[in-house]
Amino acid sequence: MATAPSPNLPLFYQDLMPLNRRDHEKWRSRRTDTADWLIGQHAVPLTVDEFGPAQRHFPIIFSAGNRPVPLALFGLNEGVNVYVDDKGAISNEIYIPAYIRRYPFLLAKLDPNSETMSLCFDPSSKLLGDFEEGDTLFEGEEPADFTKGVMQFCERFEEAGFRTQSFVDELIKHDLLMDGEVAITQDGLDQPYVYRGFKMINQEKLRDLRGDILRTWNQNGMLALIFAHILSLDLLRVIFARQTAQGKGPGAGAPQAVN
């Protein structure tokens, strides 16, 4: 159902190039009303800072594997995205995760022996170039205000990533993540559609946790994140109904009422 991004290049990114004044002094960043990189993407990484707004729009799950990653589900099947059409237009009714808003930029280490992070971008996106219109990247010897804003956004995203990893590490420490499974039945069909391949919080183990741990989690906000994840799982059936209505996914040819 959901897998973590490739360890070679992050999800969406086809290539990475460092942004620098020598090569990109006259370049601009142009805006776009569509997101081609989102077409057919059914799951997008999510930070804990976004669980609040995201849980109203997407199921929040955790990827399978040894290093689970929180994901916002845009569809229940590979290649299905119920909020982005085949031209890359995004539904205006949803929260847009920061991972999507960051593209095509990214902070990366150019020297494996250094902790310094450099602002890079995906040249295949065609969103940066020697355009006549768009946001200026450099002003004289210095990055333009737009570029400084992008850098700050990427830095905040990295910081949120560390908080997210700490949250997941705490769940793993207390063995709260289990293999997930959801069965969705449509009227007129005997067999449900069963989705696996993701992780979710084990609510039985959560209820059995010691009171002092739960008190600490309530004070530091972790408990609210857990409940946001749990409550968001009701949207799995909403996503299934949407993709069925759009003629996508395994239930597209069946009746559309969902229990």
Over the stretch 170-226, which tens digit does the pLDDT of each residue have?
999 999 999 999 999 876 667 888 999 999 999 999 999 999 999 999 999 999 999
Q: Does residue 255 belong to any structural domain of this protein?
A: no
For the cut 60, the answer to whether the pLDDT of residue 127 exceeds it is: yes
For the cut 90, the answer to whether the pLDDT of residue 73 exceeds it is: yes
d(CA 29, CA 99): 18
Q: Does residue 4 belong to any structural domain of this protein?
A: no
Overall pTM surpassing 0.85 (yes/no): yes
At a CB cut-off of 8 Å and minimum separation 6, what does 107 contact?
117, 118, 119, 120, 151, 154, 155, 157, 158
Q: Does residue 113 belong to any structural domain of this protein?
A: yes
In this prediction, residue 43 has a pLDDT band, given cuts at 50, 70 and 90, of: very high
What element of type H or E holds 43?
A: strand 43-45
Number of domains the chain contains: 1
In this prediction, residue 98 has a pLDDT band, given cuts at 50, 70 and 90, of: very high
Q: Does residue 10 belong to any structural domain of this protein?
A: no
Q: Does residue 2 belong to any structural domain of this protein?
A: no
SS3 of residue 251 by DSSP: coil
**CB burial of residue 32 (10 Å; 0-12, 13-18, 19+):** exposed
CB 134 within 8 A of CB 24: no
At a CB cut-off of 8 Å and minimum separation 6, what does 73 contact?
2, 42, 43, 58, 59, 60, 61, 235, 236, 239
d(CA 9, CA 5): 8
Q: Does residue 8 belong to any structural domain of this protein?
A: no
CB 137 within 8 A of CB 119: no
CB 105 within 8 A of CB 119: yes
Q: Does residue 31 belong to any structural domain of this protein?
A: yes
CB 88 within 8 A of CB 35: yes
Query: Both tokens of residue 207?
Result: 């209820």
What is the tally of helices (H) and strands (E) in the chain? 8, 15
Please give the residue range of the domain that contains residue 136: 17-245
- DSSP 8-state class, residue 91: P
Helix then strand then coil, in percent of the chain rounded to 5, is: 35, 20, 45
Q: Does residue 203 belong to any structural domain of this protein?
A: yes
Q: What percent of the chain has pLDDT over 90?
A: 80
Check residue 93 and give its pLDDT: 85
